[in-house]
Protein backbone atom coordinates (compact mmCIF):
# COMPACT_ATOMS: atom_id res chain seq x y z
CA UNK A 1 0.00 0.00 0.00
CA UNK A 2 2.82 2.41 0.88
CA UNK A 3 4.43 2.07 -2.57
CA UNK A 4 1.09 2.63 -4.23
CA UNK A 5 0.41 5.78 -2.20
CA UNK A 6 3.91 7.05 -3.00
CA UNK A 7 3.19 6.55 -6.69
CA UNK A 8 -0.06 8.52 -6.39
CA UNK A 9 1.80 11.30 -4.57
CA UNK A 10 4.38 11.46 -7.35
CA UNK A 11 1.61 11.79 -9.91
CA UNK A 12 -0.08 14.51 -7.89
CA UNK A 13 3.17 16.48 -7.63
CA UNK A 14 3.73 16.10 -11.37
CA UNK A 15 0.22 17.41 -11.97
CA UNK A 16 0.98 20.51 -9.88
CA UNK A 17 4.19 21.09 -11.86
CA UNK A 18 2.24 20.80 -15.11
CA UNK A 19 -0.18 23.50 -13.90
CA UNK A 20 2.46 25.80 -12.40
CA UNK A 21 1.92 28.64 -14.89
CA UNK A 22 -1.86 28.59 -14.39
CA UNK A 23 -1.54 28.51 -10.59
CA UNK A 24 0.94 31.38 -10.51
CA UNK A 25 -1.36 33.33 -12.81
CA UNK A 26 -4.33 32.68 -10.50
CA UNK A 27 -2.33 33.84 -7.49
CA UNK A 28 -0.99 36.88 -9.33
CA UNK A 29 -4.36 38.08 -10.59
CA UNK A 30 -5.89 37.84 -7.11
CA UNK A 31 -2.85 39.61 -5.65
CA UNK A 32 -3.08 42.44 -8.18
CA UNK A 33 -6.80 43.03 -7.58
CA UNK A 34 -7.41 42.80 -3.81
CA UNK A 35 -11.02 42.58 -2.68
CA UNK A 36 -12.36 42.97 0.85
CA UNK A 37 -14.48 40.55 2.87
CA UNK A 38 -17.71 39.37 1.19
CA UNK A 39 -16.81 41.37 -1.93
CA UNK A 40 -14.32 38.93 -3.47
CA UNK A 41 -16.36 38.51 -6.66
CA UNK A 42 -13.47 38.43 -9.11
CA UNK A 43 -11.35 36.11 -6.94
CA UNK A 44 -14.23 33.68 -6.36
CA UNK A 45 -15.00 33.72 -10.07
CA UNK A 46 -11.39 32.98 -11.00
CA UNK A 47 -11.23 30.10 -8.52
CA UNK A 48 -14.50 28.67 -9.86
CA UNK A 49 -13.31 28.97 -13.47
CA UNK A 50 -10.01 27.23 -12.69
CA UNK A 51 -11.66 24.31 -10.91
CA UNK A 52 -14.34 23.96 -13.56
CA UNK A 53 -11.59 23.72 -16.16
CA UNK A 54 -9.91 21.02 -14.07
CA UNK A 55 -13.02 18.86 -14.13
CA UNK A 56 -14.78 19.73 -10.88
CA UNK A 57 -18.53 20.16 -10.55
CA UNK A 58 -18.60 23.75 -9.36
CA UNK A 59 -21.28 25.51 -7.32
CA UNK A 60 -20.96 29.28 -7.35
CA UNK A 61 -22.59 31.41 -4.64
CA UNK A 62 -22.44 28.31 -2.48
CA UNK A 63 -24.30 28.03 0.83
CA UNK A 64 -26.15 31.27 0.16
CA UNK A 65 -22.99 33.40 0.14
CA UNK A 66 -22.39 35.40 -3.06
CA UNK A 67 -18.60 34.93 -2.96
CA UNK A 68 -18.39 31.33 -1.69
CA UNK A 69 -17.47 28.41 -3.95
CA UNK A 70 -17.94 24.64 -3.55
CA UNK A 71 -16.24 22.42 -6.15
CA UNK A 72 -16.60 18.64 -5.93
CA UNK A 73 -15.01 15.61 -7.53
CA UNK A 74 -15.19 11.90 -6.73
CA UNK A 75 -17.83 10.01 -4.78
CA UNK A 76 -18.47 9.03 -1.20
CA UNK A 77 -16.15 8.80 1.77
CA UNK A 78 -13.56 9.55 2.87
CA UNK A 79 -14.12 13.16 1.88
CA UNK A 80 -11.37 15.75 2.17
CA UNK A 81 -12.15 19.47 2.17
CA UNK A 82 -9.41 21.77 0.86
CA UNK A 83 -10.04 25.37 1.88
CA UNK A 84 -9.22 28.48 -0.14
CA UNK A 85 -9.26 32.03 1.20
CA UNK A 86 -9.03 35.09 -1.03
CA UNK A 87 -10.08 38.24 0.81
CA UNK A 88 -7.65 41.11 1.32
CA UNK A 89 -7.04 43.79 3.93
CA UNK A 90 -8.08 47.47 3.68
CA UNK A 91 -5.38 49.69 2.16
CA UNK A 92 -2.57 47.07 2.30
CA UNK A 93 -4.04 44.46 -0.02
CA UNK A 94 -2.84 40.87 0.26
CA UNK A 95 -0.64 41.53 3.28
CA UNK A 96 -1.80 38.18 4.67
CA UNK A 97 -1.15 36.35 1.41
CA UNK A 98 -4.60 34.92 0.80
CA UNK A 99 -3.85 34.86 -2.92
CA UNK A 100 -1.35 32.09 -2.10
CA UNK A 101 -3.90 30.21 0.02
CA UNK A 102 -6.37 30.25 -2.85
CA UNK A 103 -3.96 29.15 -5.57
CA UNK A 104 -2.32 26.45 -3.42
CA UNK A 105 -5.72 25.01 -2.47
CA UNK A 106 -6.90 25.10 -6.06
CA UNK A 107 -3.71 23.40 -7.23
CA UNK A 108 -4.02 20.68 -4.61
CA UNK A 109 -7.58 19.94 -5.66
CA UNK A 110 -6.75 19.85 -9.35
CA UNK A 111 -3.77 17.54 -8.68
CA UNK A 112 -6.16 14.92 -7.24
CA UNK A 113 -8.55 14.79 -10.21
CA UNK A 114 -6.73 11.89 -11.85
CA UNK A 115 -5.83 9.86 -8.76
CA UNK A 116 -9.29 10.11 -7.15
CA UNK A 117 -10.52 7.59 -9.73
CA UNK A 118 -8.19 5.01 -8.19
CA UNK A 119 -8.16 5.96 -4.51
CA UNK A 120 -11.90 6.34 -4.22
CA UNK A 121 -13.49 8.86 -1.93
CA UNK A 122 -14.05 12.49 -2.81
CA UNK A 123 -12.61 15.98 -2.58
CA UNK A 124 -14.41 19.28 -2.10
CA UNK A 125 -12.54 22.53 -2.65
CA UNK A 126 -14.24 25.31 -0.72
CA UNK A 127 -13.76 28.96 -1.54
CA UNK A 128 -14.31 30.61 1.84
CA UNK A 129 -14.90 34.39 1.91
CA UNK A 130 -14.32 36.93 4.65
CA UNK A 131 -11.62 35.39 6.82
CA UNK A 132 -10.32 38.87 7.64
CA UNK A 133 -13.66 39.94 9.06
CA UNK A 134 -16.99 38.22 8.88
CA UNK A 135 -16.24 34.56 9.52
CA UNK A 136 -17.16 33.08 6.15
CA UNK A 137 -16.20 29.55 7.21
CA UNK A 138 -18.43 29.82 10.27
CA UNK A 139 -21.42 30.80 8.15
CA UNK A 140 -20.67 27.99 5.70
CA UNK A 141 -20.37 25.51 8.57
CA UNK A 142 -23.74 26.60 9.96
CA UNK A 143 -25.21 25.83 6.52
CA UNK A 144 -23.77 22.33 6.30
CA UNK A 145 -20.49 22.76 4.44
CA UNK A 146 -18.62 20.34 6.73
CA UNK A 147 -21.42 17.90 7.55
CA UNK A 148 -19.91 14.96 5.62
CA UNK A 149 -16.22 15.88 5.71
CA UNK A 150 -13.53 13.62 7.20
CA UNK A 151 -10.77 16.23 7.27
CA UNK A 152 -10.30 19.90 6.38
CA UNK A 153 -6.91 21.19 5.27
CA UNK A 154 -5.40 24.47 4.10
CA UNK A 155 -2.04 26.23 4.10
CA UNK A 156 -1.24 29.84 5.07
CA UNK A 157 1.80 31.90 4.01
CA UNK A 158 4.16 33.17 6.69
CA UNK A 159 7.83 33.80 7.41
CA UNK A 160 8.61 30.17 8.23
CA UNK A 161 7.46 26.61 7.59
CA UNK A 162 5.48 25.37 10.61
CA UNK A 163 3.06 22.49 11.19
CA UNK A 164 0.40 24.85 12.53
CA UNK A 165 -0.43 28.22 13.96
CA UNK A 166 -1.01 29.42 17.50
CA UNK A 167 -4.66 30.45 17.23
CA UNK A 168 -6.49 32.59 19.77
CA UNK A 169 -10.24 32.77 20.17
CA UNK A 170 -11.41 36.24 19.15
CA UNK A 171 -14.48 38.44 19.38
CA UNK A 172 -15.06 41.66 17.43
CA UNK A 173 -16.90 44.26 19.48
CA UNK A 174 -18.46 47.47 18.21
CA UNK A 175 -18.98 50.17 20.83
CA UNK A 176 -21.02 53.32 20.16
CA UNK A 177 -21.62 56.28 22.47
CA UNK A 178 -24.51 58.71 22.21
CA UNK A 179 -24.13 62.12 23.83
CA UNK A 180 -25.64 65.56 23.17
CA UNK A 181 -24.33 68.09 20.64
CA UNK A 182 -23.69 71.72 21.63
CA UNK A 183 -21.51 74.63 20.58
CA UNK A 184 -18.12 73.69 22.04
CA UNK A 185 -17.24 77.32 22.92
CA UNK A 186 -20.55 79.05 23.65
CA UNK A 187 -22.48 76.23 25.32
CA UNK A 188 -20.07 73.45 26.38
CA UNK A 189 -22.12 72.93 29.54
CA UNK A 190 -25.11 71.94 27.40
CA UNK A 191 -23.21 69.11 25.72
CA UNK A 192 -22.49 65.47 26.57
CA UNK A 193 -19.26 64.48 24.88
CA UNK A 194 -19.48 61.04 23.28
CA UNK A 195 -15.83 61.24 22.19
CA UNK A 196 -14.72 61.82 25.76
CA UNK A 197 -16.65 58.69 26.73
CA UNK A 198 -14.84 56.68 24.05
CA UNK A 199 -11.42 58.09 24.94
CA UNK A 200 -12.03 57.30 28.62
CA UNK A 201 -12.94 53.72 27.66
CA UNK A 202 -9.93 53.47 25.33
CA UNK A 203 -7.60 54.52 28.13
CA UNK A 204 -9.27 52.09 30.52
CA UNK A 205 -8.64 49.29 28.02
CA UNK A 206 -4.99 50.39 27.76
CA UNK A 207 -4.68 50.12 31.54
CA UNK A 208 -6.39 46.72 31.53
CA UNK A 209 -3.72 45.43 29.14
CA UNK A 210 -1.18 45.58 31.98
CA UNK A 211 -3.12 42.93 33.89
CA UNK A 212 -4.10 40.28 31.33
CA UNK A 213 -2.48 36.96 30.44
CA UNK A 214 0.41 36.77 27.94
CA UNK A 215 -1.93 34.80 25.65
CA UNK A 216 -4.59 37.54 25.69
CA UNK A 217 -4.86 40.56 23.41
CA UNK A 218 -7.04 43.67 23.20
CA UNK A 219 -6.74 46.19 20.38
CA UNK A 220 -9.06 48.67 18.75
CA UNK A 221 -9.57 51.76 16.64
CA UNK A 222 -11.81 54.83 16.77
CA UNK A 223 -14.19 54.64 13.83
CA UNK A 224 -16.10 57.84 14.54
CA UNK A 225 -14.79 60.73 16.63
CA UNK A 226 -17.14 63.59 15.82
CA UNK A 227 -17.81 65.97 12.94
CA UNK A 228 -16.11 69.30 13.78
CA UNK A 229 -13.94 70.67 16.61
CA UNK A 230 -16.48 73.35 17.50
CA UNK A 231 -19.32 70.84 18.03
CA UNK A 232 -19.43 68.68 21.16
CA UNK A 233 -19.50 65.18 19.58
CA UNK A 234 -22.87 63.54 20.10
CA UNK A 235 -21.74 60.29 18.43
CA UNK A 236 -18.50 58.34 18.77
CA UNK A 237 -17.64 54.75 18.00
CA UNK A 238 -14.87 52.21 18.01
CA UNK A 239 -14.14 48.67 16.87
CA UNK A 240 -12.18 46.37 19.17
CA UNK A 241 -10.77 42.85 18.92
CA UNK A 242 -10.61 40.82 22.13
CA UNK A 243 -8.54 37.61 22.01
CA UNK A 244 -7.90 34.84 24.50
CA UNK A 245 -6.58 31.30 24.70
CA UNK A 246 -9.98 29.63 24.49
CA UNK A 247 -13.70 30.39 24.52
CA UNK A 248 -14.04 30.30 28.31
CA UNK A 249 -11.21 32.77 28.89
CA UNK A 250 -12.48 34.91 26.03
CA UNK A 251 -15.88 35.23 27.72
CA UNK A 252 -14.27 36.40 30.96
CA UNK A 253 -12.00 38.91 29.21
CA UNK A 254 -14.91 40.30 27.18
CA UNK A 255 -16.74 41.12 30.40
CA UNK A 256 -13.70 43.02 31.70
CA UNK A 257 -13.49 44.97 28.44
CA UNK A 258 -17.21 45.72 28.58
CA UNK A 259 -16.67 47.17 32.05
CA UNK A 260 -14.18 49.62 30.50
CA UNK A 261 -16.79 50.64 27.94
CA UNK A 262 -19.43 51.14 30.62
CA UNK A 263 -16.95 53.23 32.63
CA UNK A 264 -16.69 55.69 29.74
CA UNK A 265 -20.43 56.13 29.73
CA UNK A 266 -20.64 56.48 33.51
CA UNK A 267 -17.89 59.10 33.59
CA UNK A 268 -19.46 61.36 30.95
CA UNK A 269 -23.19 60.73 31.11
CA UNK A 270 -23.27 59.35 27.57
CA UNK A 271 -25.30 56.30 26.62
CA UNK A 272 -23.40 53.27 25.34
CA UNK A 273 -24.26 50.41 22.99
CA UNK A 274 -21.94 47.37 23.05
CA UNK A 275 -22.51 44.65 20.46
CA UNK A 276 -20.68 41.76 18.84
CA UNK A 277 -19.80 42.04 15.16
CA UNK A 278 -20.23 38.61 13.63
CA UNK A 279 -19.68 35.27 15.35
CA UNK A 280 -16.83 34.60 17.76
CA UNK A 281 -13.85 32.70 16.35
CA UNK A 282 -12.62 29.79 18.46
CA UNK A 283 -9.13 28.50 19.17
CA UNK A 284 -7.64 25.86 16.84
CA UNK A 285 -7.65 22.12 17.49
CA UNK A 286 -4.72 21.07 15.31
CA UNK A 287 -5.03 17.38 14.42
CA UNK A 288 -1.63 15.84 15.19
CA UNK A 289 -1.67 12.96 12.65
CA UNK A 290 -2.72 15.35 9.87
CA UNK A 291 -0.06 17.87 10.91
CA UNK A 292 2.62 15.16 10.92
CA UNK A 293 1.49 13.96 7.51
CA UNK A 294 1.79 17.49 6.13
CA UNK A 295 5.25 17.88 7.69
CA UNK A 296 6.52 14.62 6.17
CA UNK A 297 5.06 15.47 2.79
CA UNK A 298 6.43 19.01 2.67
CA UNK A 299 9.87 17.80 3.69
CA UNK A 300 9.88 15.72 0.50
CA UNK A 301 10.12 19.12 -1.21
CA UNK A 302 13.33 20.13 0.62
CA UNK A 303 11.59 22.33 3.18
CA UNK A 304 12.39 22.04 6.86
CA UNK A 305 9.12 22.27 8.76
CA UNK A 306 9.15 23.37 12.40
CA UNK A 307 6.93 21.74 14.97
CA UNK A 308 4.37 24.23 16.29
CA UNK A 309 5.53 23.45 19.83
CA UNK A 310 8.92 24.96 18.95
CA UNK A 311 7.39 28.31 17.94
CA UNK A 312 6.83 30.88 20.74
CA UNK A 313 3.20 31.45 21.74
CA UNK A 314 3.73 35.17 21.19
CA UNK A 315 3.40 34.53 17.45
CA UNK A 316 -0.37 34.10 17.57
CA UNK A 317 -3.37 35.20 15.56
CA UNK A 318 -6.98 34.23 14.98
CA UNK A 319 -8.87 32.55 12.16
CA UNK A 320 -12.30 31.13 11.45
CA UNK A 321 -10.48 27.87 10.63
CA UNK A 322 -10.51 27.43 14.41
CA UNK A 323 -14.29 26.95 14.28
CA UNK A 324 -13.90 24.36 11.52
CA UNK A 325 -11.38 22.46 13.64
CA UNK A 326 -14.01 22.06 16.37
CA UNK A 327 -16.23 20.21 13.87
CA UNK A 328 -13.83 18.01 11.88
CA UNK A 329 -10.13 17.03 12.03
CA UNK A 330 -8.24 20.00 10.60
CA UNK A 331 -4.86 21.62 10.09
CA UNK A 332 -3.72 25.17 9.37
CA UNK A 333 0.04 24.89 8.63
CA UNK A 334 2.20 27.84 7.64
CA UNK A 335 4.44 27.94 4.57
CA UNK A 336 7.40 30.31 4.22
CA UNK A 337 7.24 33.08 1.61
CA UNK A 338 9.43 35.68 3.36
CA UNK A 339 12.20 35.99 5.95
CA UNK A 340 10.96 35.37 9.52
CA UNK A 341 11.47 39.05 10.35
CA UNK A 342 8.72 40.21 7.98
CA UNK A 343 5.41 40.57 9.87
CA UNK A 344 2.08 39.50 8.46
CA UNK A 345 -0.37 42.35 7.80
CA UNK A 346 2.40 44.63 6.58
CA UNK A 347 3.03 46.28 3.21
CA UNK A 348 6.32 44.40 3.06
CA UNK A 349 4.59 41.04 3.41
CA UNK A 350 2.14 41.97 0.67
CA UNK A 351 5.15 42.41 -1.63
CA UNK A 352 6.52 39.00 -0.69
CA UNK A 353 3.11 37.42 -1.36
CA UNK A 354 3.46 38.42 -5.02
CA UNK A 355 7.14 37.46 -5.33
CA UNK A 356 8.95 34.42 -6.71
CA UNK A 357 9.04 33.02 -3.17
CA UNK A 358 5.28 33.46 -3.10
CA UNK A 359 5.01 31.53 -6.37
CA UNK A 360 7.17 28.75 -4.92
CA UNK A 361 4.87 28.60 -1.88
CA UNK A 362 1.87 28.19 -4.19
CA UNK A 363 3.48 25.18 -5.88
CA UNK A 364 4.93 23.57 -2.74
CA UNK A 365 1.75 24.28 -0.77
CA UNK A 366 -0.36 22.63 -3.46
CA UNK A 367 1.88 19.57 -3.45
CA UNK A 368 1.94 19.34 0.35
CA UNK A 369 -1.84 19.57 0.61
CA UNK A 370 -2.42 17.09 -2.24
CA UNK A 371 -0.09 14.51 -0.68
CA UNK A 372 -1.70 14.97 2.73
CA UNK A 373 -5.14 14.51 1.17
CA UNK A 374 -3.91 11.27 -0.42
CA UNK A 375 -2.88 9.93 2.98
CA UNK A 376 -6.48 10.47 4.12
CA UNK A 377 -8.06 9.10 0.96
CA UNK A 378 -5.88 6.04 0.44
CA UNK A 379 -4.75 4.84 3.88
CA UNK A 380 -7.59 3.55 6.11
CA UNK A 381 -5.21 3.11 9.04
CA UNK A 382 -4.11 6.73 8.82
CA UNK A 383 -7.71 7.96 8.61
CA UNK A 384 -8.54 5.92 11.71
CA UNK A 385 -5.64 7.61 13.55
CA UNK A 386 -6.89 11.04 12.45
CA UNK A 387 -10.37 10.31 13.75
CA UNK A 388 -9.07 8.83 16.98
CA UNK A 389 -6.93 11.91 17.67
CA UNK A 390 -9.91 14.15 16.99
CA UNK A 391 -12.08 12.17 19.37
CA UNK A 392 -9.49 12.41 22.14
CA UNK A 393 -8.75 16.12 21.70
Indicate if 28 and 131 belong to the same structural domain: yes
Q: For residues 364 and 157, what is the distance between their CA atoms, to the nearest angstrom?
A: 11
CB burial string 383-392: b at 16+ within 10 A, e below? bebbbebbee
Q: Is the pLDDT of residue 392 over 80?
A: no
Indicate if 152 and 208 belong to the same structural domain: no
Q: For residues 386 and 56, what is the distance between their CA atoms, to the nearest angstrom?
A: 26
Q: Is the pLDDT of residue 170 over 80?
A: yes
Closest residue by Cα to residue 126 from 188, 47, 49: 47
Indicate if 264 and 366 belong to the same structural domain: no
Query: Among 276, 299, 320, which residue terminates a domain?
Result: 276
Q: How much is the average pLDDT of 98-104?
A: 98
Residue 178 sits in a domain of what CATH number?
3.30.70.360
Indicate if 159 and 176 belong to the same structural domain: no
* Helix 247-268 and helix 194-208, axial crossing angle in degrees, nearest 10: 140
Indicate if 91 and 239 belong to the same structural domain: no
Q: What is the pLDDT of residue 393?
A: 59
Q: What is the pLDDT of residue 310?
A: 87
| Greatest pairwise CA separation for the chain in angstroms | 85
Beta pairing, strands 121-128 & 57-60: unpaired
Q: What is the pLDDT of residue 196?
A: 98
Indicate if 111 and 125 belong to the same structural domain: yes
Closest residue by Cα to residue 169 from 247, 63, 223, 265: 247
Q: What are phi and psi of 166, to 5 degrees?
A: -70, 115
Indicate if 257 and 323 belong to the same structural domain: no
Q: Tens of pLDDT along 2-61?
A: 899 999 999 999 999 999 999 999 999 999 999 999 999 999 999 999 999 999 999 999
Indicate if 19 and 138 belong to the same structural domain: yes
Q: What is the pLDDT of residue 315?
A: 78
Query: Among 260, 276, 292, which residue terminates a domain?
Result: 276
**Residues 6 or more apart in contact with residue 255 via CB below 8 angstroms:** none
Query: Among 240, 255, 276, which residue terminates a domain?
Result: 276
Closest residue by Cα to residue 96 from 335, 297, 285: 335
Q: What is the pLDDT of residue 311?
A: 87
Range of the domain at 120: 2-167+283-392
Instruction: Provide, rounded to the nearest whole percent, the portion of the chain with pLDDT above 70.
Output: 99
From first CA to last CA, the distance across the chain in angstroms is 28
Residue 85 sits in a domain of what CATH number?
3.40.630.10
Q: What is the pLDDT of residue 313?
A: 76
Q: What is the pTM of this model?
A: 0.93
CB contact at 8 A, 137 and 241: no
Q: For residues 55 and 60, what is the distance between their CA atoms, to the nearest angstrom?
A: 15
CB contact at 8 A, 235 and 178: yes
Q: For residues 350 and 89, what is the distance between their CA atoms, to the nearest angstrom?
A: 10
Indicate if 81 and 155 belong to the same structural domain: yes
- CA distances to 89, 186, 283, 344 from 310, rounded to whole Å, are 29, 62, 18, 19
Q: Is the pLDDT of residue 216 over 80?
A: yes
Count CB atoms within 10 A of the CB of residue 21: 9
Task: Look at the chain and report how many structural domains it folds into.
Answer: 2
Q: How much is the average pLDDT of 67-89?
A: 98
Q: How much is the average pLDDT of 302-328?
A: 92
Q: For residues 365 and 353, what is the distance between their CA atoms, to the nearest angstrom?
A: 13
Q: Tens of pLDDT along 336-377?
A: 999 999 999 999 999 999 999 999 999 999 999 999 999 999
Q: How much is the average pLDDT of 318-323?
A: 97
Mean pLDDT for the chain? 97
Indicate if 40 and 150 belong to the same structural domain: yes
Indicate if 180 and 147 belong to the same structural domain: no
Indicate if 113 and 192 belong to the same structural domain: no
Closest residue by Cα to residue 12 from 97, 89, 100, 117: 117
Amino acid sequence: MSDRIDAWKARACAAVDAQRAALVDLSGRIHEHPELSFNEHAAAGRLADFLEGAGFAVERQAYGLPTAVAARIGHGRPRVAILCEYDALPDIGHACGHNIICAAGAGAGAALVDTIKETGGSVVVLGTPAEEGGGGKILMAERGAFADVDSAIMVHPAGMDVTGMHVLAVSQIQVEYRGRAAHASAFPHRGINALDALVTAYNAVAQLRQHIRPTERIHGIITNGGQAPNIVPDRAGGLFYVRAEDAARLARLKERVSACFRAGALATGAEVDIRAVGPDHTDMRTNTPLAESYRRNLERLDRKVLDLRDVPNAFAGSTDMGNVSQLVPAIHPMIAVSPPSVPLHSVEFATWAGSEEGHRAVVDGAKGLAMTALDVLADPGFLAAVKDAFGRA
